[in-house]
C-alpha cells in the first residue's frame, strides 16, 4: 500500500516538473522570438545635442494623437516650459551689458526674483512687461551673445509665445514639448514598432545623458546594440562646455565620437551620425565665422564664409576623417557611417530622416543580423 502511494506521489511530482519545464521552455522560446524581432538603437552624444527631443519625435510619429501624452505628462511639460521661461529671462537679465531704462528696472528685479517652481503662476501677471523687455534692444543684444552664457536654444521660441504659455488654460502642443530643454540625468527607453521587409519589428530606443558626468552610464547600455545614432549639435562650434569653460563643444563632440568608433562594443554595430540643429547653424553662420574657431576651414575645398552649406560640409568632414592612434582612417571602405543633417524640433524632417534610416540601415540590420 505504501509503495503504491509513493509511486503516485513520484508520478505527480514528475508531472508537475514536466509542466514547469514546458512552461519555462515556452517562455524562453517567446523571449527568443521577441529578441529575434527586436532592434536596439542607442542614442549618444554630448549634452544638449537633441537626443531627448529625438526620442519625443519617435513618440509623436509612432503614436496616435490621443495616446501620445498622458494628462500627467502634459502637466509636467507645462511646468518644465514655464521653468524654461523663467530661467531664460533671468539668464538674459543677469548677462545684459547695456542698462535698461529706469522705468524697466523695478519690474526687471521682480523677474529676477521669481522662483522657477513657486512663481510660475506669476508669469501671467508679468506677461505684458515680459514682451516689452524681450523686445528691448538691451536684451536683444544680450540674446545675440547667448553663446557666452549657455542660454537654452528654445528661449526665443518660448518668450515669443509668453501670452499663450502663461495662460491658465495652457496645454502644451507637440511643438512646445519638442522645444523643452531639460538635462537628461537618467536612462530613458522608448519602444515602438515598424514594418521592415514585410514584417513587424520591435524597436527599443535608449537615450542617456550626454554631460561628462553622465557618460559613465553609457557602458550599461552597450550590450546588443545594432544601431548607434550619434547626435552632434552642429551650431555649437563657437561655444564652450558647461562643465569645462576651456573646451569647445564641437571639439568635445568629435572626441567622444572618435572614442565610440574605437570602442570594441560597436565594431559590429551600424553607425549613424546626425548633425543636428541645422536650423540654428544656418542662422548662426550669418554672424559667427566657423573659421575663427576652426582655422582649417579656410583650407577646405568647399570653403565659403558665412555659408551654411559650406559650414555643415566641413563639420561633417571633421567627423568623417577621424583616425586611430596609427593615423589610419576609422571610417572608410571597411566601415561606413551614415550621415544626416537634422532639425530635431522639425517633425517632418525627422520623419523623413527616420524613413531613410529604415530603408538604408534597419533593412540591412534585418538582413544581416536577424534572419
Active site residues: 48, 53, 181, 207, 211
- 273 exposure class (CB count in 10 Å sphere: 0-12, 13-18, 19+): buried
Q: What is the distance, to the nearest Å, from the Cα of residue 311 to the centroid of all Cα atoms in its chain?
A: 22
In this structure, are residues 311 and 281 in contact, taking their beta carbons and an 8 Å threshold? yes
φ, ψ at 196 (rounded to 5°): -135, 130
Nearest residue to 181 (alpha-carbon basis) of 290, 303, 65, 51:
51
* Residue 352 grid cell: 523623413
60: cell is 509623436
Q: Could you say which DSSP state residue 366 is in?
A: I
Joined grid coordinates for residue 235: 551650431
Cell numbers found for residue 31 = 523571449
- Cell (9 digits) for 232: 552632434
Place of cell 576651456: 246
Instruction: Provide the Cα torsion 122, 127, 133, 136; round to 10°.
Output: 170
Q: Whole-angstrom Cα distance, residue 347 to residue 350?
A: 5
Distance from C-alpha of 230 to C-alpha of 340, rounded to nearest angstrom: 10
Amino acid at each position: 500500500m505504501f509503495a503504491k502511494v509513493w509511486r503516485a506521489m513520484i508520478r505527480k511530482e514528475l508531472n508537475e516538473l514536466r509542466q514547469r519545464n514546458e512552461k519555462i521552455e515556452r517562455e524562453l522560446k517567446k523571449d527568443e522570438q521577441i529578441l529575434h524581432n527586436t532592434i536596439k538603437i542607442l542614442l549618444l552624444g554630448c549634452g544638449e545635442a537633441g537626443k531627448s527631443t529625438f526620442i519625443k519625435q519617435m513618440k509623436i510619429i509612432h503614436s496616435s494623437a490621443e495616446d501620445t501624452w498622458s494628462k500627467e505628462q502634459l502637466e509636467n511639460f507645462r511646468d518644465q516650459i514655464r521653468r524654461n521661461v523663467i530661467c531664460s529671462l533671468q539668464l538674459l537679465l543677469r548677462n545684459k551689458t547695456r542698462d535698461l531704462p529706469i522705468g524697466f528696472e523695478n519690474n526687471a528685479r521682480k523677474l529676477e526674483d521669481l522662483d522657477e517652481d513657486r512663481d510660475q503662476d506669476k508669469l501671467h501677471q508679468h506677461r505684458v512687461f515680459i514682451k516689452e523687455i524681450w523686445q528691448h534692444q538691451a536684451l536683444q543684444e544680450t540674446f545675440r551673445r547667448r553663446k557666452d552664457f549657455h542660454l537654452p536654444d528654445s528661449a526665443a521660441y518660448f518668450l515669443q509665445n509668453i501670452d499663450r504659455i502663461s495662460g491658465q488654460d495652457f496645454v502644451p502642443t507637440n511643438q512646445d514639448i519638442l522645444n523643452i530643454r531639460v538635462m537628461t540625468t537618467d536612462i530613458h527607453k522608448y519602444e515602438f514598432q515598424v514594418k521592415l521587409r514585410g514584417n513587424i519589428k520591435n524597436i527599443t530606443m535608449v537615450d542617456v545623458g550626454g554631460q561628462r558626468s553622465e557618460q559613465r552610464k553609457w557602458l550599461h547600455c552597450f550590450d546588443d546594440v545594432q544601431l548607434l545614432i550619434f547626435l552632434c549639435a552642429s551650431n555649437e562650434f563657437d561655444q564652450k562646455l558647461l562643465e569645462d569653460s576651456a573646451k569647445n563643444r564641437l571639439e568635445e563632440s568629435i572626441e567622444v565620437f572618435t572614442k565610440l568608433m574605437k570602442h570594441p562594443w560597436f565594431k559590429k554595430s551600424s553607425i549613424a551620425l546626425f548633425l543636428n540643429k541645422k536650423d540654428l547653424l544656418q542662422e548662426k553662420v550669418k554672424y559667427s565665422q566657423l573659421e575663427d574657431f576652426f582655422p582649417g576651414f579656410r583650407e577646405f575645398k568647399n570653403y565659403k564664409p558665412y555659408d551654411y552649406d559650406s559650414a555643415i560640409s566641413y563639420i561633417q568632414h571633421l567627423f568623417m576623417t577621424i583616425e586611430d592612434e596609427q593615423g589610419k582612417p576609422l571610417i572608410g571602405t571597411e566601415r561606413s557611417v551614415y550621415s544626416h543633417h537634422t532639425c530635431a524640433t522639425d517633425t517632418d524632417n525627422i520623419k523623413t530622416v527616420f524613413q531613410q534610416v529604415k530603408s538604408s540601415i534597419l533593412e540591412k540590420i534585418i538582413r544581416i543580423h536577424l534572419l
